[in-house]
Structure formats: structure tokens, C-alpha cells
Amino acid sequence: MEGLTALGRSIASFVSFWPLIYTLGATLLGILIGCMPGLSATLGIALMTTLTIKMAPNDAILILICVYVGAIYGGSRTAILLNIPGTAANAAACLDGYALAQKGQAGRAMGIATTGSVTGSLFGVVCLALFTPSLGEIALSFGAFEFFWLGVFGVMMTGSLTGNDPLKGWLMGFVGLFAAQIGQEGIHAFNRFTFGNNDLAGGISLIPALIGAFGFAEILTVLTAPTVKPVVNSVDSVMPRIGDVLRYWKTILRSGVIGVYVGILPGVGEDMAAWSSYAAAKRASKEPEQFGKGSIEGLIAAETGDNASIPGGIIPALALAIPGSAPAAVLMAAMIIHGVQPGPMLMVNQPQFVYDVVTMTLFATLAILFFGLFMVRPLLKIIMVPRSIIMPVIFVLCTVGSFSIASRLFDVWIMLAVGLCGFVLRKLNYPMAPFVLGLVLGDIVDKSLRRGLVLSDGSLAPFFTRPISAVIFAIVLFTVLMYVPSFNRIVTAGWARLWGRT
């Protein structure tokens, strides 16, 4: 009952002129960012963090969440019309969305994408409201030992589930962990890996590094990619058909559950949620041969999964200070900048804020429904803007955004250096998401390890003997061993025999 009362207070506080204006404006901006191939939700949140630094905390975080939700949704437009995902989360939507557009059903495809996005996000909002307080209460029993393994688990998960080569993912994750150690350490302010450079003593700032990894690197990638002519001559009615929703309600529910679950896993992200939902829908479908050829079920599963993953990724960010995805990592950093400290103590110190975030996500979902139904043709014009106009503007915003956080020219150099390295690493198929999560989780891993050692008088035993800590360690170890071929074969064979008996 207390939760419903707090949620009611949050909704009442946001139903006023300026919050509604911020909701509509920021969601529209997010959709525009998602519509431009090469930009990403992470970049949009990072840039808007720099532009909202002087705003009231609730207003600033409302804008960032609306940009987040809008960008993930907006990427489906280019997936359907260009066969190029506007964000990585929309890659699965290309398979059936573009096929439908080529059949003259681009409008219907966008209506289905809107239906999936809205229903998936609404399902995630319900889970956000239900699970965040409970998870926060459970996390109050966690100590430094448990948070150390949670941080390591996040890096291992993002490495193993990103790309086809887990070793590359793990390498990038540990590079991010190392980068987080540069500068003054958090307990005694001792300089590490600075080589006498005063600028490095301030550390590698998260926002400039993220802008470089997901902004400047994306600009270079887009400028070197071939152009594609959009399929805009076949846009029919975008109004969702109730029959489609009723026919595929099981697919929507299943994809929503998968999206939230994948979102909660540290560092996995919306793209994996979309692919997992798509694969599950194909396995359960009566017409699996239609997937990839214009399947309504495939498109609605992909878009439901990636949008349900957004609230799912926010749940561990709020309750554990362990972000579920790269955009959630930037959002968590913005919360810290605005004086909100995510983690187990959030439900003790600022319990109302959790319900404020639920309301913000709900308002963003209603905004994408409005724009998705009534602003389709105007939004298509953004796809026609030449790259030669868009990319210089984005580069200027990246530069200004990197500088504005701390007014350090060094942060601009960090952005450029990370962006150039990220561009080269992408060409070599090294994923950037593990690097970002390593950079975010590095501070948690470092402080938790040293605090645990202080509490145990230098003994490592509590990291392995405390019950919760031992369980998380076992999960991390099992994750790594599953990529050893002989161990994988043994586990797979044992599971097959057990499943056969049952």
C-alpha cells in the first residue's frame, strides 16, 4: 500500500506543465537520435547529461530517461526503412521490418513496432515498480565481499554475451577495469598509473570516455559506411491493428519477460534482449519459416524485448548500483552527478526516487505511443538529412559535451583518443560495451576488494566462504568454465540425460 501511495505522489508531481513539456521534447529528441543510423541511446544520454547539468535533479533525469526510451524506439524506423538498425538494439527488427517494407507494408511494420515497444516498456515499468524495492531490501544484506563478485560477474557476463568471441569481450571488460584504476584511488587518494601527469590524476572521466566510445567512434564508422536509399514510398497506415495484438499476446508476454530478465543481467543490454526474444518467438511459432521474410510475430517479439529491457536494466542500477546496459550505466552516472546515490541504501535514504523513476519511464512510454502514431511522416524526414550535415553537428556536440562536465580540455582529448581506439577496435570485432561496463564497475570492484581485505585483516577467505559471496563466485566460475570445450560437453551431456529422464 505504501508503494501505491508513493507512486501516486510521483504521478501527481509530474502531471504539470514543465514536466510534460520535458517529456514530449526529450522523447522526440530521443526518437530523432534513434532515427539517425550511427547514433545511439548511450551517446544521446551522455550528451544530454552535459546539457542538463544545471537543471533540477528530477527534471534532468526525466529528460535522460525519455531520451533513452525514445532512442531505442526510434531505431526501429531505420531498421524498417533502411535495413540499418538505428541503434544496436534494433538489429533484430531489420530481419522482418525491412522485408515488410519491401512488400509495401512499411506503415504496418512501424505500427507493429510501436505496439511492441509500448507494450514491452509498460511490462518493464510494472516489473521496475515491483522488483526494485524488493531487490534493494535484499541487497542491504550485501557487503564488500558480495559487491566485489557482483562487479566481476557484470564484466564476465557482458564479455560472454557480446559478440561471437567471449575472449575479446572479456579482454575489453578488463581493459575497462584497468582504465577505471587510473588516477587517485578512492580511499587514500594515492595516485595510480598517472606517471606524474596531473591531468591523469583526475582519472578517466566516464562521460567523455562514453562519448568517445559511442559518439566519435560511431561518427567515424558512419562516415566510412555506404549510403542506403530508404523505402519511404510505401508507408501505409501506421495505426496498430487490434487483431495483431490479440493474436500475438503470448509472444508479447514472453518477450516482455525475456526482455526484463536480460535487462537485469549486468552489462548484457537491449540488443541481446531483442535477439533472445526473437529466437524464443521463432522456436515457439507455428510458422518459423516466415521469420526473416516479413513475420509480424518476429518483428513484434524483437521490439517488445528490447524495450522491456530498458526498465529491466534500470532495476539493478537503482537497487545494486550495477547497471544492466551501457545506456543504464550513463544514466546511473548522471544520477550520481545530480546527487542521487544508487545502491542498497537508496530505498532507505530516498525511497520516493524509485517511484519517480517508474513514473518517468511510464511517461516516456506514453510519449513514444503518441509520436509513433501521429508523427510518422514528419519523423521520416530526418532519415533524408545528408550525413555531411548531421555528423559535423554531432561532432561539435561531442566536443562541447566532453568539455562541459569538468571544463577540462583534457576530457576532450580523452574523448578523441577513446573514439579513435574504439573505431579501430570495432573494425577488429572487439565490442565496446564490455569496456564501458568495466569502466563503470571498476570503482565498485576496486573499493569493494580493498574494503573486504581491510575487514578481513588481509584474508581472502571471506570472499569465498560467505554464503552469498560463494554463490556469486560459483556463478562467475561456471560462466567461465562453460567456454572450456571439454567442460561444456560434460555439462551439456549431463543436462541432456537429466532432461531425458524427466
Structural domain harbouring 386: 2-465
- Of residues 203, 188, 156, 235, the one with CA closest to residue 438: 156
pLDDT attached to residue 304: 92
For 189-227, the pLDDT digits (tens) are 788 888 878 888 878 887 888 788 877 887 787 677 665
Do residues 452 and 488 both lie within one domain? no
- For the segment 96-118, the average pLDDT, to the nearest whole number, is 84
The answer to pTM > 0.75 is yes
Confidence band for 480, pLDDT divided at 50, 70 and 90: confident
Mean pLDDT of 328-357: 86
Q: Specify whether 379 is located in the same domain as 477.
A: no
Is 415 a residue whose pLDDT tops 60? yes
Same domain, 489 and 456: no
Q: Same domain for 366 and 470?
A: no
Same domain membership, residue 220 and residue 154 = yes
295 and 375 assigned to the same domain: yes
Output the pLDDT for position 360. 94
Give the pLDDT band (50/70/90) at residue 52: confident
- pLDDT of 233 over the 60 cut: no
40 pLDDT more than 80: no
* Domain identity same for 297 and 427: yes
Higher pLDDT, 438 or 235: 438
What kind and span of H or E run contains 192? strand 191-192
Phi/psi zone of residue 386: left (φ > 0), alpha (ψ -120 to 50 degrees), beta? beta
How many beta carbons lie within 10 A of that of residue 134, not counting itself?
A: 12
As for how many domains the chain has, the answer is 2
* Concatenated DSSP letters of 72-113: HHHHHHHHHHTSS-SSGGGHHHHHHHHHHHHTT-HHHHHHHH
Q: In whole numbers, what is the pLDDT of the chain averaged over residues?
A: 82
What are the tens digits of pLDDT across the range 430-471? 877 788 778 878 888 888 888 888 888 888 888 888 888 898
- Residue 84: which region, alpha, beta or left (left: phi > 0; alpha: psi -120 to 50)? beta
Residue 30's pLDDT band (cuts 50, 70, 90): very high
Do residues 121 and 86 share a domain?
yes
Same domain, 139 and 281: yes
- 481 in the same domain as 378: no
| Best CA proximity match to 80, nearest among 389, 380, 384, 288 | 380
- Which whole number is the average pLDDT over 117-136? 88
Q: Are residues 428 and 502 in the same domain?
A: no
433 lies in the same domain as 470: no
What is the C-alpha separation between 377 and 373, in angstroms, rounded?
10
Range 472-480, long-range pairs (CB < 8 A, 24+ positions): 472/146, 472/149, 472/150, 472/153, 473/149, 475/153, 476/149, 476/152, 476/153, 476/156, 479/153, 479/156, 479/157, 479/160, 480/156
Q: What percent of the chain has pLDDT over 70?
A: 89
pLDDT for 230 beyond 60: no
Instruction: Indicate left, alpha or beta for 248 from its phi (over 0: left) and psi (-120 to 50: alpha).
Output: alpha
